[in-house]
Structure 1
Amino acid sequence: MTTMTLPAIASGDSLDRYIQQINAIPLLSQDEEVSLATRLHEHNDLDAAGKLVMSHLRVVVSIARGYAGYGLPQADLIQEGNIGLMKAVKRFEPSRGVRLFSFAVHWIRAEIHEYILRNWRLVRIATTKAQRKLFFNLRSMKSSLASLSHTEAKQIADDLGVKPEEVLEMETRMSGQDVALVADDGDEDSYAPIDWLADNDNEPVAVLERRATDRLQGEGLQSALEGLDARSRRIVEARWLADDSGATLHELADEFGVSAERIRQIEVKALQKMKTALAPA
């Protein structure tokens, strides 16, 4: 299925056009699903696989919309979900009597979850399988916007197989709000955290650490980038070092004439190579 060409996914108006395109693709009946899946498994018919994927792209969009609150590009969420859909089509066995829609939901969500866990800033608090389940289900399991009581926390903990303390900690971190570091200029009597912080800028250890960090971020990063081939460097710079929100996988796929999955593979390999190059000697 690597040769399959999906409609282009971008942002803004392009994303709206993509959704219009996939919504125009006819849905399949159960008999059509069975016939296409049989052709795929018995004859490795990639055209049949393509029809199965294309007819379920709208399912991916519907699922991806449920993760809009994580602040990640909708186009990337959809792209990751599409990868999950293709994996589901490859493993789909119509003889079990289950519709592809029901079977694919797990694979679509799994790919989106993995993408969020790799990119969202709070993922480090969800390290075990149980904590990841808590991470993705806590919002929906709360009965109101108010803080959880110990009874509610214990019920959620029992349902998800974690400790009540973990539920309360997760709720605190996920609901935490930013606090202004500097006080309002218009209020002479107000105080902010900066008023209580010591100035350690000239402390010798801090000066040495800052110089080492600056050298690593300047010379070290430049050296690591120079160790990449031209395509890998372009992908890393477009995805991670751009001034704006960065390019999507599909935008880069169009630029290089390969699949979005191939772009992701190159990105992962390049970042690992840079990490090795930046590691202390």
Structure 2
Amino acid sequence: MSEHSMNMSTANAVALRDPWALVPSLGNLDAYISAVNRIPLLSLEEEQECAKRLRDHGDVQAAGRLVLSHLRLVVSVSRQYLGYGLPHGDLIQEGNVGLMKAVKRFDPEQGVRLVSYALHWIKAEIHEYILRNWRMVKLATTKAQRKLFFNLRSLKQGFKNEADDARSYRNSLSGDEVRSVAEQLNVKPEEVLEMETRLSGGDVALEPQGDDNEEAAFAPIAYLADEASEPTRVLEARRRDALASDGILRALDALDARSRRIVEQRWLDVNDDSSGGKTLHELAAEYGVSAERIRQIEVAAMKKMRKAMEATAA
């Protein structure tokens, strides 16, 4: 008997006595992956037998053998999601949870292998973990958004590869690419654009994370407060509104007739073409004086109005 066959026989014997003994309790991730890859696969007959023992008698040892023989599948599937920047060990752990759920629900009478049935559960748990932890704010809640989240990155990579060949890659999707993605995933183009915007954004802490005063000044908490109802601002707004209405009328009443007419024609009357009031030269022609004289009258009137408005504000 070859050394490989002897090792396989020993592993099978150990798995029959204590299925969990083949997975090391301590060690790094590489040691774990190496260990699960050495666990022997079950034949169809062995898988059926273990599944029936679990279903009919609640045999935990049988469940253990089913789980252990498929741990390498979880490792393989988890590698597909390393691009999201989450720890590989955590992805494997969540996938193992999905595998155990699949084993618990597996019916050997359905005529399919456990590997086919478990694949859905493993991916579902990994997907849920990524959606919970990739960003502080959950990006995808509906079924269509989940589909977009896990397919848009790979589709964009395909567009990038094509554009690299043409030496014209863009970071954002073009209109044709958006429509192509929408057709492939059976969603609306607007949903594709929305998800792309979400993926390209990032988390921003509401409050500063350190003691840096400059950082604190630009933290969202510094400018997200609603100041519209702040008491001093309310009083200031009321005062400004009063000056803009009653205050201006009282200031105009303090002027002589000619000065008031000049101010009104210069600043309060609007021409039909919405070009503003009359010019100094237009008023000079109307009153038969120079434009400089009109300017002097205007300046004197403005000073008098300012004093009247200050008195009103006081």
TM-score of the superposed pair, with normalisation by structure 1: 0.58
State the shift of 1:45 in Å.
1.2
Give yes or no for the alignment of 1:94 onto 2:108.
yes
The alpha carbon displacement at 1:122 in A equals 6.6
Assess if the C-alpha contact under 8 Å between 2:132 and 2:138 holds in 1.
no
Is 1:79 aligned to 2:93, yes or no?
Answer: yes
1:203 CA displacement? 11
Q: Residues 123 and 167 from structure 1, CA distance in 2 versus in 1: closer, same or farther, beyond 3 angstroms?
A: farther
Which amino acid in the other structure matches residue 64 of structure 1?
A: S
Q: Give the secondary-structure state (helix, strand or coil) at the position aligned to 2:138.
A: helix
User: CA distance change for structure 1 residues 43 and 202 in 2, over 3 Å: closer, same or farther?
Assistant: closer
Alpha-carbon separation, structure 2, partners of 1:32 and 1:159: 40
Alignment of 1:42 onto 2:56: yes
1:149 aligns with 2:160: no
1:104 to 118, 128, 135: 118
For the pair 1:19 / 2:19, whether they are aligned, the reply is no
**1:128 counterpart (116, 130, 142):** 142
| Matched AA of 1:144 | F
- Specify every segment of 5 or more residues in structure 2 that has no aligned partner in the other structure, as ranges: 1-18, 161-169, 204-214, 228-314
**Amino acid of the residue matched to residue 168 of structure 1?**
L
Aligned match of 1:184 = none
Q: Decide which structure has greater helix share.
A: 2
Letter in 1 for 2:77: I
What RMSD in Å do the two structures reach over aligned CA positions? 3.5
Structure 1: tracts of 5 or more residues without a match:
179-193, 207-281
What CA distance in whole angstroms lies between the structure 2 residues aligned with 1:149 and 1:203? 34
Q: Is residue 164 of structure 1 aligned with residue 179 of structure 2?
A: no
State how far apart, in whole Å, the 2-side matches of 1:173 and 1:133 are. Answer: 14
Please tell me the residue identity of whatever aligns with 1:155: S
After superposition, the Cα gap between the structure-2 partners of 1:151 and 1:14, relative to the gap in structure 1 and judged at 3 Å, is same
Number of aligned pairs? Answer: 187
Cα separation, 2, equivalents of 1:204 and 1:62: 48
Partner SS, residue 187 of structure 2? coil
Q: Deviations over 1:124-148 (max 9, x none)?
A: 3312121011101112233222442
**What is the rounded CA distance, in whole Å, between the counterparts of 2:178 and 2:223 in structure 1?**
46
Q: Which structure would you say has the larger Rg?
A: 2
Q: Does the CA-based 8 Å contact 1:80-1:115 persist in structure 2?
A: yes
Q: How far did 1:162 drift? A: 2.5
Residues 203 and 121 (structure 1 numbering): CA distance in 2 closer, same or farther, change over 3 Å?
Answer: closer
8 Å Cα contact 2:20-2:68 kept in structure 1:
no
Q: Shift in Å at residue 113 of structure 1?
A: 1.1
Flag the 1:131–1:14 CA change in 2: closer, same or farther, 3 A.
same
**Compared CA separation, residues 148 and 9, structure 1 to 2 (3 A):** farther
CA deviation string 1:203-245 (max 9, x = no partner): 9989xxxxxxxxxxxxxxxxxxxxxxxxxxxxxxxxxxxxxxx
Give 3-state SS (helix, strand or coil) of 2:159's partner. coil
User: Greater relative contact order: 1 or 2 (C-alpha under 8 angstroms, separation 6 or more)?
Assistant: 1
State the AA in 1 paired with 2:141: T
**How far apart are the structure 2 equivalents of 1:203 and 1:158?**
39
For 2:77 and 2:107, the matched residues in 1 are separated by 22
The equivalent of 1:53 in structure 2 is 67
Deviation at 1:84, TM superposition (A): 0.3
Identity of aligned residues (%): 62
How far the C-alpha of 1:123 sits from its partner, in A, is 5.2
Provide the secondary structure at the position in 2 that maps to 1:125: coil
Instruction: Report the Cα distance in structure 2 between the residues aligned to 1:203 and 1:151, rounded to whole angstroms.
Output: 38
Pairwise mapping of residues 198-209 of structure 1 onto structure 2 (< 5 A)? none
CA distance in 1 between partners of 2:71 and 2:120 (Å): 14
One-letter amino acid of the structure 1 residue matched with residue 92 of structure 2: I
The one-letter amino acid paired with 2:113 is R
